[in-house]
Amino acid sequence: MSIYPKKVTLIEVGPRDGLQNEATSLSVTDKIQLIDALSDTGLSHIECGSFVSPKWVPQMADSGGVLDGISRHENIVYSALVPNQKGFEECVTHNPSEIAIFTAASNIFTQKNINCTIAESLSRCETILHSAHTQNLPVRGYISTIVGCPYQGKVTPNEVLNVAKELLALGCYEISLGDTIGVGTPRQITELLDTLLAHIPAEKVAVHFHNTYGQALANLCTALEFGITRIDSAIAGLGGCPYAQGASGNIATEDVVYLLNGLGIEHGVDLAKCVEVGQNICIKLNKQPPSLVNRAYPTHS
């Protein structure tokens, strides 16, 4: 009998986590084309941009125009990332289906990323969650540096658990666990999920793996074994965090879909369409597509 879940959901973060770290800033039109193309792949959740300071992350400066310009499908969630109340207020004028907030398990990373401590960031989150709930907007919460931090080093499962409990208590419907610099291996992910899932139901946990050391798919398999059904991924494996040196691409949507097909797990996403979208975005970004995007994926027998 399979130890894996029957069905999972992919949360596409390429237009936000992918593009925020690219040297080439895409035009609003190109970003809209990317999201519209992703909307035709069968994905049901797309993070479209972020309402952070344009001085900190210039690549995301036009996220309002992006949300305004996309062709929305009724059954797709179009979300955006917000760091504070100012970002929230701007974001909601562009009609997101839901928002995502973010903090980390490492204080020093939080300081570098959003210029405040974890405690201060949770207080900002509380304000945003209060406003979001008065507008019936669901809120997803990211926790970065779940196993390692570029400044602190090792991060313990209990440090993550404390923040996860706080975000859920404040009203996030789900926590996305970010291995921001991709240092985790299945052993660390096992230790983390052992601790977390003793307190939090698996349905409320998503995984967000970066692939710096090629561990993302192995870590995803581990998470699937724990019954995790919510998976963040980015088309063409784009991505990284500008405030985490060494943070390279996210786990690639194409690779995740291929893996899930092979494991016989339902997900609703069309692999061939994803590969095409991945190739096109790499051309726009003037970057050599990663070998995985060039590869013709065989079909599983």
The 3-state DSSP class for residue 156 equals coil
Question: Is the Cβ–Cβ distance between 80 and 110 less than 8 Å?
Answer: no
Based on the shown chain and the rule CB under 5 A, indicate whether residue 174 belongs to the binding site for Mg ion. Answer: no
Based on the shown chain and the rule CB under 6 A, indicate whether residue 84 belongs to the binding site for ligand HMG. Answer: yes
* 16 vs 267, beta carbon nearer ligand HMG: 16
Q: Are strands 148-149 and 153-154 parallel, antiparallel or unpaired?
A: antiparallel
> Please, what is the minimum distance in Å from the beta carbon of residue 163 to ligand HMG?
12
> Please, what is the minimum distance in Å from the beta carbon of residue 200 to ligand HMG?
18
What is the per-residue DSSP string for 237-290? Answer: G----TTSTT--PBPBHHHHHHHHHHHT-B----HHHHHHHHHHHHHHTT-PPP
Based on the shown chain and the rule CB under 6 A, indicate whether residue 87 belongs to the binding site for ligand HMG. Answer: yes
> Please, what is the minimum distance in Å from the beta carbon of residue 266 to Mg ion?
25
Residue of the chain from 17, 98, 166, 174 that contacts ligand HMG (CB under 6 A): 17
Phi, psi of 238 (to 5 degrees): -65, 160
The site partner of 56 among ligand HMG, Mg ion, none (C-beta below 5 to 8 Å per kind) is: ligand HMG
Q: Which residues ranging from 17 to 36 are in contact with Mg ion (CB under 5 A)?
A: 17
The 3-state DSSP class for residue 144 equals strand
Spell 85-96 as b/e; 16+ CB within 10 A means b: eebbeebbebeb
End-to-end CA distance of the chain: 19
Stretch that binds ligand HMG, among 66-74, 235-243, 252-260, 269-277 (CB under 6 A): 235-243
Cα 270 from Cα 41, distance rounded (Å): 5
Give catalytic status of residue 149 as yes or no: no
Cα 41 from Cα 38, distance rounded (Å): 5
The 3-state DSSP class for residue 45 equals strand
Q: Which residues ranging from 163 to 192 are in contact with ligand HMG (CB under 6 A)?
A: 178, 180
The site partner of 15 among Mg ion, ligand HMG, none (C-beta below 5 to 8 Å per kind) is: none
Q: Which of 48, 91, 172, 241 is labelled catalytic?
A: 241
Stretch that binds Mg ion, among 11-19, 35-43, 62-70, 194-202 (CB under 5 A): 11-19
Based on the shown chain and the rule CB under 6 A, indicate whether residue 56 belongs to the binding site for ligand HMG. Answer: yes
> Please, what is the minimum distance in Å from the beta carbon of residue 1 to Mg ion?
33
Residue of the chain from 102, 163, 231, 253 that contacts ligand HMG (CB under 6 A): 102
Give whole-number Cα distances, 13 to 195, 237, 250, 251, in Å.
26, 10, 9, 10
**Per-residue x/- mask for Mg ion, residues 66 to 105, rule CB under 5 A?**
----------------------------------------
Which residues would be at the binding site for Mg ion (CB under 5 A)? 17
User: Known catalytic residues?
Assistant: 241
